[in-house]
């Protein structure tokens, strides 16, 4: 049986190109092409694709939110994010939401087909730049705190924001959810990092709950 794949991409040209690439492989079948997260959420359950390629920046609901919604249903497909930007915040938000891979556009045919087979067999396909960012985030040493763990020194709002970070929300999504400005979210997160003596989202989440890593 071929590996069934769906594409969620708002750019029609890119969507057609990805479908054409998938069509060159005998062991892969594109069963759905969607221009929005909302359309994908309506139609994906009936199609039950094994793999989904998800654009991170979609009109309406974001790709990250769509991943989060799909991850809450079953059976869960393997989801690979697509984007033109190697933004660290977006990378970790996607992976925290349930994505299994992250590829940068433009994507070559060989790379796309390899990603389908890799993620289907349990792998985590990532563009070289993305993999490097992930490794750097986990290898970057956190400054040692002068006293006991600082989680208790976080304000109620900071604790709330840290919880949302751990759930994979983007800064903009946190801003909308808490009805505060984007700059205020950034300020709170900078203070969280300072209080927890960390330098990244992954390290902050690890300090919040070490078992996540």
Q: Report the SS3 class of residue 32.
A: strand
pLDDT at 152 > cutoff 60: no
pLDDT at 117 > cutoff 80: yes
Q: Which pair of tokens denotes residue 132?
A: 């490097």
> Hey, which bits of the chain come out as E strands?
3-8, 28-34, 51-55, 78-83, 101-104
pLDDT, tens digit (0-9, with 9 covering 90-100), for 156-183: 888 888 888 887 787 888 888 898 888 8
Beta-bridge partner residues of 83: 104
CB burial readout 135-168, b (16+ within 10 A) else e: eebeeeeeeeeeeeebbeebeeebeebbebbbeb
Is pLDDT larger for residue 178 or for residue 131?
A: 178
Q: Which pair of tokens denotes residue 70?
A: 């799909």
Q: Which pair of tokens denotes residue 73?
A: 């249903």
Q: Who's near 49: CB < 8 A, 6+ residues apart?
A: 4, 5, 6, 31, 32, 77
Instruction: Enumerate domains of the chain plus CATH numbers.
Output: 3-137 (3.40.50.2300), 150-212 (1.10.10.10)
Q: What pLDDT does residue 195 have?
A: 83
pLDDT at 75 > cutoff 90: no
Mean pLDDT of all residues in the chain? Answer: 83
104-115 mean pLDDT: 93
Q: What pLDDT does residue 212 have?
A: 40
Phi and psi for 133 in degrees, rounded to 5? -65, -40
188-201 mean pLDDT: 81
94-115 mean pLDDT: 89
pLDDT at 144 > cutoff 80: no
């Amino acid at each position: 049986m071929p590996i069934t794949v769906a594409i969620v991409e708002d750019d029609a040209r890119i969507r057609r190109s990805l479908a054409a690439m998938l069509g060159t492989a005998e062991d892969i079948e594109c069963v759905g092409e969607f221009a929005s997260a909302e359309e994908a959420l309506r139609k994906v359950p009936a199609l039950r694709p094994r793999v989904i390629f998800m654009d991170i920046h979609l009109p309406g609901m974001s790709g990250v939110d769509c991943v989060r919604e799909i991850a809450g249903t079953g059976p869960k497909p393997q989801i690979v994010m697509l984007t033109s930007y190697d933004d660290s915040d977006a990378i970790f938000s996607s992976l925290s939401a349930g994505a299994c891979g992250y590829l940068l556009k433009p994507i070559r045919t060989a790379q796309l087909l390899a990603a389908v087979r890799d993620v289907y067999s349990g792998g985590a396909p990532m563009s070289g730049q993305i993999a490097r960012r992930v490794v750097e985030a986990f290898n970057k040493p956190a400054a040692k705190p002068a006293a006991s763990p600082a989680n208790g020194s976080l304000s109620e709002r900071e604790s709330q924001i840290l919880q949302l970070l751990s759930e994979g929300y983007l800064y903009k999504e946190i801003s909308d959810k808490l009805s505060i400005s984007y700059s205020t979210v950034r300020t709170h997160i900078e203070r969280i990092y300072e209080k927890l003596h960390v330098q990244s989202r992954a390290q902050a989440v690890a300090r919040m709950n070490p078992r996540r890593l």
